[in-house]
Amino acid sequence: MTAHTEDPPPRRERLLDQTVVVIGGSAGIGLETAREARIEGADVLLVGRDADRLAAAAEEVGARRTAAFDAHDLDAVRGFFADLEQPVDHVMVTAGNPYYASLWDTDFGEAGRALQDHPLLMAGIARYGAPRVRPGGTLLFMGGTGGRHPSIGIGVTSAMTAALPALAASLAVEVAPVRVNLIAAGFVNTPLSARLLGDGLEERLDELRRTVPTGRVVEPEDVAALAVHIMTNPALTGATFDIDGGQQLVAAPPSQP
C-alpha cells in the first residue's frame, strides 16, 4: 500500500493589496524585509540615500518605486510622506548606523548626533508618517540589545538603544490606531556588521555559533520574518521584540561589533 502525501497548502499572501515602505531598504535587514513583503503580496516602496543602490535593490525584489534621501533629514521625511499619492499600510525603518568608541576615543560631536538621531528619526516618522498610514497599519523601527550588556566601546549606542522601547510605547499611544513597534536585534550577519568587524567577522560568527543557545547566527532573513509577523498581527503595538538567538541568556554574551 502506497502512502498518500498531500501537497502542502499554498502560502498565504498575508500582505496582499497592502503597501510597505522600507526606509533603509537597499541592503541588509531592510532589503530582506522588502523581499519578504513582496513574497507576501505587498507593493513595496524602497527609501535610501544612494539612488543607484536603490535602483538595483528595487529591480532585485520588484519594488514599485524608490525615493532617495537621507532619512535623518526630517524635512525630506515630511516631503516624502506628503507627496505619497495614496495611504500606505506599513513603514519599516532600518536607517541609521551605530556609534562605537571607547570613552577616551569618543568624538563628542558624533556621539551627540548618535544619541539624538535615532530617537528623532522615530519621532519624525511618527509625526509625518502616521497620518499617511491606514488605521491598524504599522510603524516598525529597528533597535538593539546593547543597552543590556555594558561593555567598553558601546556606551553611546547602548544609551540610545535603551531609550527606544519607552519611545516606541509612547508613540504607540499618540498615533493610535496606527501601531508602533520596535525590533531589538542582537548581532545580525549583515553587510554593516561585516564592515564594522572587518577581519574579525569570522571569529565573531564562530564565537556566536559556539555560545548562543540556537547554535546559529541571526541572519537578515530572520529579522525580516519577524517584521512581517508584526505587520500582519493587528494585536501588536507599543511592544519591543528581541531577536538574538538567545544571546541574552548566555552568562557572558559576546559584545556588539
User: For the residues 183-205, what does the mean pLDDT come to?
Assistant: 79
If one counts every other C-beta atom within 10 angstroms of the C-beta of residue 183, the result is: 23
Please report the pLDDT score of residue 196 as a whole number: 67
Please report the pLDDT score of residue 58 as a whole number: 95
**pTM for this predicted structure:** 0.88
Q: How far apart are CA 101 and CA 255, in angstroms?
A: 13
β-bridge partners, 66: 46
Of residues 139, 146, 160, the one with CA closest to residue 238: 139
* CA distances in angstroms from 220 to 33, 87, 195, listed in the order given: 8, 27, 15
SS3 of residue 46 by DSSP: strand
Q: How far apart are CA 142 and CA 94, in angstroms?
A: 5
Of residues 58, 5, 10, 11, the one with CA closest to residue 31: 58
Residue 229 confidence class, pLDDT cut points 50, 70, 90: very high
Residue 7 confidence class, pLDDT cut points 50, 70, 90: low
User: For the residues 81-105, what does the mean pLDDT come to?
Assistant: 90
> Worst-scoring range by mean pLDDT, 5-14, 68-77, 134-143?
5-14
Residue 152 near residue 111, CB atoms below 8 Å:
no
Of residues 221, 215, 236, the one with CA closest to residue 188: 221
Please report the pLDDT score of residue 186 as a whole number: 83
